[in-house]
Structure 1
Amino acid sequence: MPSMPAFEKEMRQEKAALLIMHQNRMCVYDERSTYSDAVPSDSTQISDPRIDFSAKIRNEFPSVYFLDSVLFQRSGTQMPDAASDLATSLSGLVGDISANREFVSLYFEFVHPWLPFLSKRRFLERVLNPLGAKQIGNMLLISTMKLVAEDIVDDNTISPLYSSVKLALLRLEMSGNLEFRTLQAWIMISLYELGHGIYPAAYLTIGSCVRYARALGIHLSIENSFGSSMHDELDSEERRRSWWAILLLDGFVHLGCPAALEVNLPPTSDSILPIDDSVWEQGEQELSRAQLYRLTSPLTATMGRFCLTAQAGILLGRVFQHVNDTVNTDEFRHQEATVLDNTISALTQVSREEGRHRGIGVCSPTTICFSARLLLHDEERWQRSGSRENRIGLSPSRDIVDEIIGNMLRLARALASCGKCGAEQISPFCLETMYRSGMIFAQRFASEGDEEAYESFKILKLGMEATSRRWKAGNLLKARDLTGIL
């Protein structure tokens, strides 16, 4: 047999060496290869703190929590503290919290007033506390707060911090994390996605909030006025407010497609509403003396902003149910629509009075009521089969619509004149009403040739463009104008 050529022998030896190396090495996957469309190419921003998915993920969650809840409670089993290494990764992206807390101040000044589901006292004492900040739930909450509070740089909503938070939430799910601060981070990231128009992520994330909260039993907090032995009154109120925030976001995300509303168990007539915001901020001693309101309580301007916002969210949900009703008779739907319209109108008046009483220029419950009422009087958005005639049976609604779009026109004019300083105080809940108002003016111009309506449309577009510096979803009316789709 002839001898093997020297070069062929060398090639075989090299292949054997490579095979040995392959069998003894660990494969490391860089998440940038999978998420190349979402993560910026500037690797210097994320090379060190990025989440390493090559690490082993272990799920030590006690499955008995779901399989036999009674056994879980009686056995004294504890929830695991999962994925603590993620906290260090997120910390590298957030920066030195002890030296730079400007985003915390921004959050509590501009976001907290219209969605106050975080206890400021508990956040400062327990979450920002250096002894607890490296816990993964706390670090996630801090990271998402930074996302929501700060302006977007270079129009990049899919930033390294956002991408890392989403990956961290996925990994926590895989490792069996179920913890209240993580839930609040879920709420915060869904608010970020909603405000910046990141879909379908916003829709899916809010759905995850609902299931995550139910798994923790947070939905029960609005039915029980007594705190558990594990939570004091301040913690119980924070849990209650977190559930109301989820319900509010879950309703609002369906405004653009009301026919796609999922069927969730609605609050009962005895459900407990959030207490007055100013009382809640004062601490636990004041909480024990606070007046408790339920859904059946008469409307007053002293209920507090978030209490009224929660009720506006409930009415919006009832409008969704009404427009999707294919069972009841026309007579019943006529009566129901009239009651809904009157109730929304009453809440609007109380909300505006509350805003004047507390010096609030733009009140979230007012704009949510506007959105609900516009939907109630806009049959084209109902997406139902059959004749459109007499679906509601209400009297002509032009006067009602004119009142709403007139209010939003004044708001848009103020935003366009003062720019970013006014937009910082605007919540995403205002954007939908502004958008619908702009569309109504544009459609009137297209159908009636009303030049004044066109000028009003342009003012609303400028107002929304001012809000887009804070919330990117504000660009929607501009997109309508560019496409010419009315």
Structure 2
Amino acid sequence: MPPKVFASQACRACRRLKRKCTREVPACALCYRLGKTCEYAETAASESTISSRLSHIEQLLQVEGVSPSRAFTGISAAAFFPRPAEAFPLPFFLDSEYLTSQSVNALSWSRHPYIHQIVAEHLDDDRVTLCEHYLSTVHKWLPMISRKRLFNEVNSDATEVDGCLAIFLLSMKALSAKDGECAKSSSWYLLARTLCSEAESAGFVSLRLVQALVLLSVYEMSHAIYPCAYSTLGRASRLGVLLGLHDRKNNQLFKPAETWTMREEQRRTWWAIFLLDRLMNIETNLPSTVPEPVKDELLPINDEDWDEGKIVPSEPLFTTSFSSLTAVGSFAKMCQAAHMLSKVLSHRASKRSTQDVGSLLPEALALHSALSALHLSIKEYISGTTSSSSSISGIISLSLCCSAQLVLYNMYGCNEPLALVEQSRIAMETEMQSVSLQGIKSISCNVMPAIARANIECPLMAQCLYHVATECAWFVREDHEPQMYSALEDVVRELRSTGANWNLATQYLSLLQQGGVLDLVNVDTDASTTVTSSSG
């Protein structure tokens, strides 16, 4: 049975009688029942317009030889992309003096149910089941979604919720599927990416659309689909800035969210974007697309209270001490680690652009002290938590902190002098070199192998695991230390385990193979056997 076609507004009869109209074409339910001619002030889109629009979408899907019919199976030519119920306020860009702030949902709601019809063909599973699966997996790494608000929307009428909810659910489906080698050609992924582009072009500016783009960027990062991941996250960041997620107190376009839950979800979504951006830029010299946190930015509340829908106080990002009345959760610690990583990346950029390296040494030692304190705090949190989900996100936080430390330590751990600096700076240089070498060895030999043995299989940790594998290989080639052989085995084993579902880890393994690192270890045999044979 072909999907029903709906008009953009109520028919003339229902509007005159002030009755709720089903807006079905060619006749609404009331007119059909009464045997009357159903007239709409605004006729449905012509077949030629619809066919032209669908043809455009199909062209967008011709990626990697994928057939559009495969991705759009069961979608009728009667479906076309709607626009938000409200038009974008042009004075925002043309002359802000004439701007009137919009409600937070002004550009997210649509009278048309077409997006939901398109997506319904691809969401065979029960939507509640899909959400539960996502919350029990990916949500543990990146807990930006409000469980309470999500289920309220899923169980509501499609015309009463964020118009991009269906696209968000499709992105959730793609990320939960773990397509592995077929990631680029996944029909869920291709359709979600296309619908996100269509929604942006149509003028939607909504939290669900931003979150859909965040999930797509996680999918693309996790399967090494570059440069798509970089551009997708940039789009999420731009839309987030329009929504005022980066600085909610000074947002001119939208009024503040009416509920505490919505405001906290906005905050967590922006932190997720910030975290992913800094993680993605560890190996690049590209400018960041996500601004630094504002001075009065708050950390996310602890994750247990968040998932239970409780309203509790938040801790500030910039503080000299934390309140004894609140608990800083694992996602908040992940955000702290991302913030420290951002500071280290900024320090690295400064080091590359200055000749006076000695002037940066005090800042480098300060970053080392702050990262060491955060590292210890995260380890204490992990050892003290009884929640498995908090333990998982806590371990990911520790991995992100280790990434920041390794970037810092690799700048100063080299045996060669940093630069021709004043004699008074030599002692500080030697001190930084010493702590850097000790830090690299401790992370490579003890911390990350223990994380690898936890077997979380999270793609957000793949970069750190790869970095540690190269460090272990350096120590093995230098000293043939048995502990380093064992550490390398643990790390490579976790990368291979992660690579079964996420192509990013497989790509890192390929790089390790090119560098001869995999020749140093045999993960298919017992560690002691490998160490003995290598030592002999």
Shift of 1:197: 1.5
Gaps of 5+ in 2: 1-47, 518-536
1:466 aligns with 2:505: no
The letter for the 2-side match of 1:195 is S
323-332 vs 304-313, which moves further: 323-332
1:90 aligns with 2:119: yes
Identity of aligned residues (%): 22
- Aligned residue number for residue 343 of structure 2: 318
1:408 aligns with 2:432: no
- Rounded to whole Å, the distance in 2 between the matches of 1:24 and 1:450 is 69
297-306 vs 140-149, which moves further: 297-306
- Aligned residue number for residue 522 of structure 2: none
- Rounded to whole Å, the distance in 2 between the matches of 1:221 and 1:242 is 12
Q: Structure 1, residues 300-352: CA drift from partner, whole Å, max 9, x if none? A: 89311111111111100000000110248433310000000110110111111
Q: Structure 1, residues 137-157: CA drift from partner, whole Å, max 9, x if none? A: 110111111122232266434
- Rounded to whole Å, the distance in 1 between the matches of 2:372 and 2:156 is 44
1:198 aligns with 2:252: no
- Rounded to whole Å, the distance in 1 between the matches of 2:232 and 2:299 is 24
Shift of 1:191: 1.4
**CA shift in 2, pair 1:432/1:239, >3 Å:** same
Which of 338, 341, 349 in structure 1 is aligned with 2:376? 349
Shift of 1:377: 1.1
| Matches for 1:64-75 after TM superposition, within 5 Å | 64-73=91-100
Q: Name the SS for the 2:261 alignment partner.
A: helix
Aligned residues: 443
Q: Name the SS for the 1:118 alignment partner.
A: coil
107-116 vs 330-339, which moves further: 107-116
Q: Is the 8 A contact 1:187 1:246 kept in 2?
A: yes
Which of 294, 306, 312 in structure 2 is aligned with 1:280? 306
- Rounded to whole Å, the distance in 2 between the matches of 1:434 and 1:133 is 44
Shift of 1:85: 2.4
Q: Structure 1, residues 141-193: CA drift from partner, whole Å, max 9, x if none? A: 11111122232266434311111111111111221111121111111111111
- Rounded to whole Å, the distance in 2 between the matches of 1:334 and 1:485 is 34
Q: Is the 8 A contact 1:90 1:143 kept in 2?
A: yes
- Rounded to whole Å, the distance in 2 between the matches of 1:381 and 1:69 is 51
| Matches for 1:128-147 after TM superposition, within 5 Å | 128-131=155-158, 136-147=163-174
Q: Structure 1, residues 41-68: CA drift from partner, whole Å, max 9, x if none? A: 4945533238x69958879534234323
- Rounded to whole Å, the distance in 1 between the matches of 2:404 and 2:73 is 46
The letter for the 2-side match of 1:79 is L
Q: Structure 1, residues 91-150: CA drift from partner, whole Å, max 9, x if none? A: 21122535xx43322211122233111111000112443445885311011111112223
Shift of 1:370: 0.1
**CA shift in 2, pair 1:143/1:292, >3 Å:** same
**CA shift in 2, pair 1:26/1:149, >3 Å:** closer
Instruction: Provide the TM-score with structure 2 as the length reference.
Output: 0.73
- Rounded to whole Å, the distance in 1 between the matches of 2:102 and 2:260 is 26
Gaps of 5+ in 1: 1-22, 416-421
Q: Is the 8 A contact 2:88 2:107 kept in 1?
A: yes
Instruction: Provide the TM-score with structure 1 as the length reference.
Output: 0.80
- Aligned residue number for residue 419 of structure 1: none
**CA shift in 2, pair 1:186/1:103, >3 Å:** same
- Rounded to whole Å, the distance in 2 between the matches of 1:293 and 1:313 is 15
1:376 aligns with 2:403: no
Q: Name the SS for the 1:363 alignment partner.
A: helix
- Aligned residue number for residue 5 of structure 2: none
Q: Is the 8 A contact 2:50 2:78 kept in 1?
A: no
- Rounded to whole Å, the distance in 2 between the matches of 1:241 and 1:468 is 28
Greater relative CO, 1 or 2 (CA 8 Å, sep 6+): 1
Shift of 1:235: 1.1
- Aligned residue number for residue 267 of structure 1: 293
- Rounded to whole Å, the distance in 1 between the matches of 2:50 and 2:304 is 59
Q: Is the 8 A contact 2:167 2:192 kept in 1?
A: yes
| Matches for 1:142-291 after TM superposition, within 5 Å | 142-152=169-179, 155-221=182-248, 230-257=257-284, 259-262=285-288, 264-283=290-309, 286-287=310-311, 289-291=312-314
| Matches for 1:387-398 after TM superposition, within 5 Å | 393=429, 394-396=432-434, 397-398=436-437
- Aligned residue number for residue 308 of structure 1: 333
- Aligned residue number for residue 79 of structure 1: 107
Shift of 1:442: 2.1
Q: Is the 8 A contact 1:39 1:163 kept in 2?
A: no
**CA shift in 2, pair 1:110/1:56, >3 Å:** closer
Q: Is the 8 A contact 1:222 1:271 kept in 2?
A: no
Shift of 1:32: 5.0
Shift of 1:212: 0.6
